[in-house]
Amino acid sequence: MLKDYLRLHFIVLLWGFTAILGKLISVPPVELVFWRTLLAATGLAGLLLVRGQPWRVPAREVLKMLGIGVLVAAHWITFFLAARLSSVSVCLAGLATLALWTSLLEPLVLWRRVRFYEVGLGLLTMVGLYLVSQAELDQLAGLLVAILSAGLSALFSVLNSKLVKQHTPLQLTLYEMAGACLSIVLFMPFYSHYYTDGAGLQLRLAGLDWLWLLLLAGVCTVYAFSTSVELMKRISAFVVNLTINLEPVYGIVLAVLMYTLRVPGFGQEKLSTGFYLGTVVILLSVLIHPVLDQWNQRRARRREAAEVLV
C-alpha cells in the first residue's frame, strides 16, 4: 500500500509539472495542445493494442466522447495560455477553483441537490481569489484565463462522470484525445488567419521542445492516466481525490524551485505575501471539500440504514 500511495503522489506531481512544461515548450498554446493530443491519442491507441483491450464503441457514444474532447482542448489551451500570461503559481492558483466550479456545475448537469457546505467552501474560495487578484493585479489576465480553464475542466469532468460508467477509462480517454486533436485541426485555419498576426501556424519544434513534449504527452498524460486507473482498483476514490487536490501545491512548489534555480522564463515566481495568503485560503477550501463530502456520504448512509430498520 505504501508503494501505491507513493506512486499516486508521483502521478499528482507529474500533473503539477504540466504547467512547468507548458512554460518550457516554445510553441504557442494552440499548437502545443495539438501536439499533445496527437501524441497522447497515438500512445493510448498503442496501449489498448498492447493490452488487447477493445476500442470499438457505438457511433452515438463516439460522438459524445469526441464532443467532450472539444472541451478538453479548450481547457488545455486556456491552461497553457494562462501560464504564458502570468506566472505558473498564479495560473495554478486559478486552476485550484476546480472544486468550486464542480460544486456549481454538478447540480445543474446531474440534477442533484445543492450541498450547502459546498456553497460555504465556494465563498471561501472567492475570498482567496480576491486576495490573489488584489496582490497580483499585473497578472490578473492570466488569473482570469486560469479560472476559465478550471471551469472547462470541471464541465468535462462532470460530463465524464456519466460516460465512465459505460466505457473503460482508456477507451474514453482515447476518443476524447482524438476529439480534442480533431477540433484543433478544424480550428486551425480560422486561428491561423485571425489570431497569429500574419505569422501563421508555428508547429515547428525547436531545441528541447521534442523532449518536453514527449514528457508532457507520454509521461504526464498516457503514463499518469493509465497508472491512476490501475491505482483506483486498490485505493479508495476519497484518497485519490484528496491527493489530486494537492496538484496546485506541487505545481507551485515546482515553480518556486524553477525560480530559485534561475531557469529562463520563471522570473516572476517571487510573489507577494498577499498572493500566498490567498492561495492558502483557496487550497484550504479545496482540501476540506473531500473531507466534508465523505462525512456527508457517511451521514446519508446512516440515515438510509436507520430508515430500513424503522
Give the pLDDT confidence score for residue 109 in this predicted structure: 80
Give the pLDDT confidence score for residue 104 in this predicted structure: 81
Give the pLDDT confidence score for residue 97 in this predicted structure: 83
d(CA 9, CA 77): 25
User: 515547428: which residue's cell?
Assistant: 204
User: 534561475: which residue's cell?
Assistant: 262
d(CA 26, CA 41): 22
d(CA 123, CA 270): 27
Give the pLDDT confidence score for residue 201 in this predicted structure: 86
Q: What is the full DSSP assignment across the chain?
A: -HHHHHHHHHHHHHHHTHHHHHHH--S-HHHHHHHHHHHHHHHHHHHHHHHT------HHHHHHHHHHHHHHHHHHHHHHHHHHHS-HHHHHHHHTTHHHHHHHHHHHHH--PPPHHHHHHHHHHHHHHHHHHHHTGGGHHHHHHHHHHHHHHHHHHHHHHHHTTTS-HHHHHHHHHHHHHHHHHHHHHHHHHHSSTT--------TTHHHHHHIIIIIIIIIHHHHHHHHTTTS-HHHHHHHHTTHHHHHHHHHHHHHHTT-TT-TT----HHHHHHHHHHHHHHHHHHHHHHHHHHHHHHHHHHHHH-
The half-sphere exposure of 74 on its side-chain side, counting CA atoms within 13 A, is: 16
Domain ranges of the chain: 2-309
Give the pLDDT confidence score for residue 280 in this predicted structure: 85
Print pLDDT tens along the chain (310 aa): 778 888 888 998 998 889 889 888 989 999 999 999 999 999 999 888 888 888 788 888 899 999 999 999 999 999 999 988 888 888 888 888 887 787 788 788 877 777 777 778 778 888 888 888 777 778 889 999 999 999 998 888 888 877 877 777 788 889 999 999 999 999 998 888 887 777 788 888 888 899 999 999 999 988 887 787 677 667 765 566 667 777 777 887 888 787 777 776 665 555 678 878 888 888 887 778 777 777 877 877 777 776 665 5
